[in-house]
Amino acid sequence: MSYIFRIIAIAVRYKYRLIAAYLCTAGAIVAYVALPKLFGQAIDKIVQPLMEGREVEIGAILAPVAIIMLLGVVRGALSYGQTFLAESLSQYVSYDIRNSFYNHIQHQSFSFHDRYHTGNLMSRAITDVENVRMFINMGLVRAPYFVMLFFVVGAILIISDWKLGLLSASFMPVVALYTSHVRLRMRALWLQVQEKMAELSTILQENFSGMRLVKSFASESFEEEKFNVKSAEVSDIYVRAERLRASSTSFMLFTFLVAIGLILWFGGSQVIEWHNDPERLAGMSPGQLAEFIFYLQILAMPVRMAGWLVNSYARAASAGERLFEILDHESVVKEIEQPIVMDTCGGYVRFEHVSFTYDGSKNVLEDISIEAKPGKTIALIGPPGSGKSSVIGLLPRFYDPTNGVITIDGKDIRDFTLKSLRSHVGVVQQDVFLFTASIAENIAYGNEHATSEEISNSAKVAQMSDYIESLDEGYETIIGERGSTLSGGQRQRMAIARAVLLDPPILVLDDSTSSVDAQTEDDIRVAMESLVEGRTVFIIANRISTVRKADLIIVLEKGRILEQGTHQELLDRDGSYRKLYELQLRPQTEIFKEFENGD
């Protein structure tokens, strides 16, 4: 129930709309419960004269009919207000939760996204929020209507005839116990449904994103089978939940019809007694029995809706649990209470005895110390899994180190606001992400107010301008999802242009030339020589040709620094770097020498 109370607390923010809905509810109930009494009076005004052999005048029922029609109009108007206010309130609440959910995720660290898959988060943002919306509409606003209707009508029945009233309410304890049992079982089922839906969304998201891979390996049948298995699991749990809800509704209707049969039996005997009493001092008139039956029919409405309400509460409870699990998650990368805004940055970066672990067990970085002076280029090289990207991920605080300190211009990076820190650190990641938008919008991402000239200049630095200008729509060309219409090298050059436009004092290139040919790599390197001047640059690369001109080359292996120095210094040491050089460049060097000698 704690999740239900938290959802209700969000709805209470719109208290005036909620109060108005409840006022409409109260008015609709008053208009509704007055109708059976008028029906009963009208019936008696017709039946009693006929029983006495008198002629019935049409004027005798004009007043009840007019009042019934007026109450019908009032009830219709109030029901409209209740329905509109309930729906609008549910939309406002779902809007708030959806936005809070989205905004909260935006400020989570990379470790959060390592843990929660995209499809899982999408399922929560769409399916679970919709379940909460249905609860606000049906459970929070409409449920009090049915509860009030039940108690008001129940009280009227007992006041009218306490014996028949108690008889009609005798089945309610059984219904209440059964409903409680069903609610607990349905909550567990709906939690399973939502978890399976999250898994299904993950399969969909991965399949659609990796469609080229699926087709390359002719794995359509495999993917179809995988989807069918998960889809069948979702359907089976849905069927079980609906079977439980249907059995609940059927059971309640059965008990209600049994109550109606008993009322007709005992109430009919009282009508007969009333008919046989000349003075009409005993029993129940036909109008009173009809009135009682009408009230019993009204009482059936909340009984019939109980199954839907139980379903609504069960789904909202499981949805709330999944949503608040995310909303309550605190990012491990947090700002201090009064962070500093980094207005200027000289680019002096120091890693001081830094260690880091992703999962809290084994360190992927161990005692890393690096000094990067302004205007210098630091290259990180090593085999896959050596920790190169992990080092760079700590600088803009995608993660925080487990031990040690990272400083910029002598200040701990944890003292700065995340926004100001990251605005001074330009990152070109290995896995380039591009949006389904124009080329200009993709380049200007992070600097949305950039001019066309600035965007064009950035593209020139990244050796991308010639290709863009050859397109029919130039910089306004819309690229496909995740940049699918561009080659790998073009996507990386787009990312470089994006970083160039940001004009950061600290530049990080995470293997940013891995998908370009040697000629383009050389062109980018030449074009960026003016860019890196005066900036602190970190380069992650697997090619020695990319890092050989760096001011400092750091060789990593298994999260530790094996050796560091300039290109020539490392060659002279005959260590890991030299072995890598021999493997990559020496054969090429010999070929170039033979070519130059004309052999």
Query: Taking phi first (over 0 means left), then psi (-120 to 50 degrees means alpha), and beta for anything else, what does residue 186 get?
Result: alpha
Amino acid at 454: E
**Three-class secondary structure of residue 379 per DSSP:** strand
Distance in Å from the first CA to the final CA of the chain: 83
**Could you give the angle at the alpha carbon of 130 between the alpha carbons of 126 and 134, nearest 5°?**
175
Backbone dihedral angles phi then psi of residue 147, each to the nearest 5 degrees:
-65, -45
**Three-class secondary structure of residue 421 per DSSP:** helix
Distance CA 173, CA 296 (A): 17
Contact 576, 557 (CB under 8 A): yes
Give the pLDDT of residue 343. 87
Contact 92, 21 (CB under 8 A): no
Amino acid at 157: L
Q: Quick one: which H or E segment has residue 426? A: strand 425-428
Helices and strands (H and E) in the chain: how many: 23, 10
Which CA distances in Å does 416 have to 112, 397, 423?
A: 21, 10, 11
Give the pLDDT of residue 595. 46
**Three-class secondary structure of residue 115 per DSSP:** helix
Distance CA 28, CA 26 (A): 5
Measured over the CA atoms of residue 265, residue 271, residue 277 and residue 283, the dihedral's sign is: positive
Amino acid at 422: R
At CB < 8 A and 24+ separation, what contacts does 579-587 make?
Answer: 580/381, 580/544, 580/555, 581/544, 584/543, 584/544, 584/545, 585/544, 585/545
Q: Tell which residue, 172, 184, 152, 125, has the closest CA to residue 1.
A: 184
Model confidence pLDDT, tens digit, residues 412-448: 999 999 988 988 888 887 777 788 888 888 888 878 7
Give the pLDDT of residue 350. 93
**Three-class secondary structure of residue 384 per DSSP:** coil
- Residue-wise pLDDT tens for the chain (599 aa)? 788 899 999 999 999 999 999 999 889 888 888 888 888 888 877 777 666 666 666 766 788 888 888 988 998 899 899 889 999 999 999 999 999 999 998 888 888 887 887 778 888 888 889 889 989 988 888 888 888 888 888 888 888 888 887 877 777 777 767 776 776 777 678 778 777 877 887 788 778 777 767 777 777 888 888 888 888 888 888 888 888 878 877 887 788 788 788 888 888 888 887 777 656 656 777 888 888 888 888 877 777 677 677 778 888 888 888 899 999 988 888 888 889 998 888 889 999 999 999 877 788 999 999 999 988 889 998 888 888 888 988 999 989 999 999 999 989 999 999 988 988 888 887 777 788 888 888 888 878 788 888 889 888 887 788 888 888 888 888 887 666 677 777 887 888 888 888 888 898 887 656 556 666 666 666 656 656 677 898 988 777 767 778 889 999 988 899 999 988 888 888 788 888 877 766 555 554 454 445 54
DSSP designation for 438: B
The b-or-e profile of 358-370 (16+ CB within 10 A means b, else e) is beeeebbbbebeb
> 592: which 2 tokens?
């170039």
Residues in the chain: 599
Give the pLDDT of residue 535. 83
Distance CA 242, CA 253 (A): 16
Q: State the residue for tokens 């379940």.
A: 131
Q: Quick one: CA torsion of 278, 279, 281, 287, rounded to 10 degrees? A: 70
Q: Tell which residue, 530, 487, 489, 526, has the closest CA to residue 507.
A: 530
Q: Tell which residue, 136, 148, 54, 61, has the closest CA to residue 98.
A: 136
Give the pLDDT of residue 591. 47
**Could you give the angle at the alpha carbon of 546 between the alpha carbons of 544 and 552, nearest 5°?**
80
> 69: which 2 tokens?
């029609």
Give the pLDDT of residue 93. 93
Q: Tell which residue, 315, 126, 120, has the closest CA to residue 200.
A: 120
